């Protein structure tokens, strides 16, 4: 006796429709090794934040990809939430300060360096800068692997 499995053509996540046409379709349809849509395994807490605060930003696909990678690495929900919240907030600051509109305009070596050095946003504490640097570096490393 054989068993049939039903192959779904799109994720069943309640967030799928809200993300469609805003997030790259290849990212939305990304599947794990067992052919399960990763979006279907993602948590409401960070997806709601993402939809409300990130989906219309130039870095939306970058952060969504990071969330996919972190989900597949079984990173806890709070860490995923912190990653998307902190990185998006700081990128918003940098984009506004430097009048950027596209990710390609962001120069990590000069603009982010000014932020980490404390030349801009002097009201931000050293702890805020260090936290952003730590999360950004960890995220960059994880997505490159």
Hey, what are 72's tokens?
């597949």
Residue 45 CA: distances (Å) to CA of 2, 23, 49: 39, 18, 7
Could you tell me the pLDDT band of residue 145, with boundaries at 50, 70 and 90?
Answer: confident
Tell me the pLDDT tens digit for each residue of 58-85. 999 999 999 999 999 999 999 999 999 9
Tell me the pLDDT tens digit for each residue of 92-115. 999 999 999 999 999 999 999 999
Hey, what are 75's tokens?
């990173």
Hey, what are 123's tokens?
């009201």
Cβ–Cβ < 8 Å for 84, 63: yes
Hey, what are 105's tokens?
């305009």
What is the C-alpha to C-alpha distance for residues 27 and 10, in angstroms, rounded to an integer? 12
Residue 135 CA: distances (Å) to CA of 9, 41, 51, 52, 90: 34, 22, 20, 21, 11
What is the C-alpha to C-alpha distance for residues 61 and 26, in angstroms, rounded to an integer? 10
Rounded to a whole number, what is the distance in angstroms from the first to the last CA of the chain? Answer: 41
Q: Nearest CA to 85 among 119, 45, 116? A: 45
pLDDT score recorded for residue 8: 67
Q: Does 120 have pLDDT greater than 80?
A: yes
Domain ranges of the chain: 16-144
Cβ–Cβ < 8 Å for 54, 84: yes
């Amino acid at each position: 006796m054989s068993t049939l499995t039903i192959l779904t053509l799109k994720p069943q996540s309640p967030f799928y429709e809200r993300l469609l046409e805003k997030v790259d379709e290849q990212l939305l349809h990304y599947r794990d090794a067992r052919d399960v849509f990763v979006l279907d395994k993602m948590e409401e807490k960070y997806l709601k934040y993402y939809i409300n605060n990130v989906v219309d930003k130039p870095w939306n696909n970058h952060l969504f990809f990071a969330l996919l990678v972190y989900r597949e690495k079984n990173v806890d929900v709070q860490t995923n939430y912190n990653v998307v919240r902190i990185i998006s907030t700081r990128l918003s600051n940098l984009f506004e300060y430097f009048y950027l509109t596209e990710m390609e305009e962001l120069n990590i070596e000069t603009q982010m360096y000014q932020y980490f050095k404390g030349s801009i946003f002097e009201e931000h504490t050293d702890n805020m800068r260090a936290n952003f640097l730590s999360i950004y570096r960890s995220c960059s490393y994880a997505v490159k692997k």
